[in-house]
Amino acid sequence: MQLSKKESSLIEIFLSTKKILTAQEIADNLRISTKTVYRLVKKINELSSNGPVIETQTGKGLSLNYKRYLKVINEQENTQEDNAEGRRNRILLELLFKSPHPMDIQTLYEVQFVSNELIIKDIEKMRETVKPYQLAIKKKRNLVSLVGSEKEIRHLSYKLISMGSFLTTETYVVNDETMNSYDADLITSLLEYIEKMVGNPIPYPYNVNIFSHIYILLSRFRKGKVANPEVSKLSELDGEEKNLIQQNQEKFEIAKKIIQRIEDYLVAEIDEIEVFYLFQYIMASRVSTNENAQAMTNESEEVTILALHLAKYLKAELNFSFIEIIDDASFLEHLRLMLYRSKNGIIVKNELIQDIRREYSEIYVALQKALDDLSSEFESLNISDDEIGFLVLYFAQILEKKRFQRRVLIMCSSGVGTSELLKIKVQRAFPDLDIVDVVSLNQYKKNYEKLGKESFDFILTTVSLDNKSNVPSLLVNFMFTQRDQENVAKLLEGL
């Protein structure tokens, strides 16, 4: 089942609202007519082999049959139906790998079975695709070629591979074509070598990044004629780049040994600058070595400023505090790598981006705005949708944790000692509870009685309480017995 952009947008409305909608509500949302809505619904249902995906509820409106939708998505992922965009991407990837060598058009399209008229349209579409990358497609008689800088050729190659490739447990497939098994084995062994040398696995999506980079490198040197880049020797790197190598010698040596193995595999000499390019990908991945790699000049300060700005901006936009994220070492490391990727034009692909944008749309939009505001303060701060999606997950984790973390106020008649003992026992039995405070009865009446749900979700008290607040309270023994623990568990289930 292959959906058009409008059909996909219609489905997205149901996924985000999760309710019955009238045709007029859908039409208003998509800014189309109700007639078009019914036409799209009919088209979607006709494409489904599992029965109607969108059902009509008599007298109510339209609803999404979620189980059938999931079956359709599963079929779509497994069948990898051929389509015009997919065909053009496969052709374009072949031209990128062969660049600047010209290819015979009939050879390119020999298994496509399309008309000459459609081939001409394809070439025009591909010209539009490559234009933003300062690349050009040239056609002379029956020959077609792609020309441009090596850097942009690889950027576009990576984008096309990330759009059309997938990995199974047994085979690697790129744009519907099974990868040469020898290439796949080599790249897999090189990734394993990196992991062995750094002492830990390369996490997603960085493993895909490095895999794709090496695959493109193999394809370019085997099929095309790699155009000499502006910098071809390590001696031609600028001072900052040389300093980065010096500070991270262990990772640089890993990159050097991998390029040497690729040279042996290809039986060809590769420009030494490729060592630095691979080194950049390793640096941009979440892998660490035994050496204490130093950040580039002002990098730590940049990361701190960015983290603080994002936390403050999201608090203002969403009225929810994310301030603890500035002390999250994992988040700060992600920001550091993100800034490095942005500066060096390294792309990452986020397979969950659509789901993230749908489930956490407010966080996503707020982060977009925050990063736009910072663009003037950071050099080359060009953060992609995929990168923003990864950032969203860090903030969403805090949101979800706080959303479901129950706040409890612990209170005794007067003795602080018994209150503290109760606190320790509660923490041990329910480590996920957020203990707001430990107070006496007088302190409660003075400071908390009027606050209620603004500050806590329930009260644990060792003294009978004439509760005037709008939150539940539970009378417990200061020893917090097994029966008390069972009563708290029941109370939490009802909140």
Q: What is the DSSP string of 287-347?
A: ---SS-PPPPTTHHHHHHHHHHHHHHHHHHHHS---GGGGG-HHHHHHHHHHHHHHHHT--
- Ramachandran assignment for 51, one of left (phi > 0), alpha (psi -120 to 50 degrees), beta (any other): left
What does the pLDDT read at residue 172? 59
Q: Give the residue with greater pLDDT, 327 vs 232.
A: 327
Q: Which residue has the higher pLDDT, 74 or 305?
A: 305
DSSP class of residue 21?
A: B
Q: What is the mean pLDDT of residues 27-42?
A: 89
Assign domain 299-401 to its CATH superfamily.
Answer: PRD domain (1.10.1790.10)
At residue 427, does pLDDT exceed 80? yes
CA distances in angstroms from 75 to 2, 8, 42, listed in the order given: 10, 16, 19
User: Cα(365)–Cα(335) distance, rounded to whole angstroms?
Assistant: 18
Secondary structure class of 433 (helix, strand, coil): coil
Amino acid at 44: I
Mean pLDDT score of the chain, rounded to an integer? Answer: 83
Q: Tell me the mean pLDDT in the region 369-375.
A: 85
Q: How far apart are alpha carbons 388 and 365 in whole angstroms?
A: 9
Residue 307: which pLDDT band, with cuts at 50, 70 and 90? very high
Helices (H) and strands (E) in the chain, counts: 21, 12
Higher per-residue pLDDT: 244 or 113: 244
Q: Where do the domains of the chain lie?
A: 5-79, 82-179, 187-207+225-290, 299-401, 405-494
User: Among 41-50, 149-158, 169-178, 470-479, where is mean pLDDT lowest?
Assistant: 169-178
Q: How many CB atoms lie within 10 A of CB 130?
A: 20
DSSP-assigned states of every residue in 140-195: ETTEEEEES-HHHHHHHHHHHHHHHEEE-SS-EEETTEEPPHHHHHHHHHHHHHHH
Answer yes or no: is pLDDT of 486 > 70: yes
The domain made up of 5-79 has a fold known as Arc Repressor Mutant, subunit A (1.10.10)
Contact by Cβ (8 Å): 30, 10 = yes
Non-local CB neighbours of 447 within 8 Å, separated by 6+ positions: 439
Please check the confidence at residue 222 and state whether its pLDDT lies above 70. yes
- pLDDT-above-90 percentage for the chain: 26
Span 153-212, pLDDT tens digits? 998 998 888 765 544 434 555 655 667 788 888 999 999 999 999 888 888 788 888 998
Long-range contacts of 442-445 (CB under 8 A, 24+ apart): 442/414, 443/411, 444/409, 444/411
- Please compute the mean of the pLDDT values over residues 72-98 and round it to a whole number: 73
Distance from C-alpha of 412 to C-alpha of 462, rounded to nearest angstrom? 5
Q: Same fold for the domain at 5-79 and the one at 82-179? A: yes
Residue 82 has pLDDT above 70, yes or no: no
pLDDT of residue 372: 86
Does the pLDDT at position 218 exceed 80?
A: yes
- State pTM to two decimals: 0.62
Given this model, what pLDDT does residue 169 score? 38
- Tell me the percentage of the chain whose pLDDT exceeds 70: 86
What confidence tens digit (pLDDT) does each residue in 246-297 have? 888 999 999 999 999 999 999 989 988 999 999 999 988 877 655 444 444 3
Predicted confidence (pLDDT) at residue 376 exceeds the cutoff of 80: no
Q: Are 197 and 142 in contact (CB under 8 A)?
A: no
First to last CA, the chain: 43
Lowest mean pLDDT, pick from 29-33, 291-295, 322-326: 291-295
Alpha-carbon span 310 to 289, nearest angstrom: 29
What span, in angstroms and rounded, lies between the C-alpha atoms of 495 and 480? 20
Three-state DSSP class for 450? Answer: coil
Inter-residue contact 321 to 315 (CB < 8 Å): yes
Report, as an integer, the average pLDDT of 237-242. 85
pLDDT at 19: 79
Residue 121: pLDDT over 60: yes
Q: Cα(57)–Cα(170) distance, rounded to whole angstroms?
A: 44
Other Cβ atoms less than 10 A from the Cβ of 36: the count is 16
Q: Is the peptide bond before 205 cis (omega within 30 degrees of 0)?
A: yes
Task: Decide which of 3.40.50.2300, 3.40.50.300, 3.90.700.10, 3.10.50.40 is the CATH code for 405-494.
Answer: 3.40.50.2300
pLDDT number for residue 301 = 78
> Cis peptide leading into 132, omega within 30 of 0?
no
The Cβ of residue 126 has, within 10 Å, a number of other Cβ atoms equal to 19
Find how far residue 73's CA is from the centre of its chain: 20
Comparing 197-206, 263-272, 396-405, 418-427, the range with the smallest average pLDDT is 396-405
137 vs 238 pLDDT, higher one: 137
Closest alpha carbon to 419 in 441, 442, 404, 439: 439
Confidence of residue 74 (pLDDT cuts 50, 70, 90): low
Is it the case that residue 457 has pLDDT exceeding 90? Answer: no
Check the CA dihedral 79-85-91-96 and report its sign: negative
- Average pLDDT (212-241) is 83
Which residue type does 39 have? R
Q: Which of 205, 207, 219 is nearest to 175 (CA)?
A: 219
> What is the model's pLDDT at position 81?
41
Identify the architecture of domain 82-179 in CATH: Orthogonal Bundle (1.10)
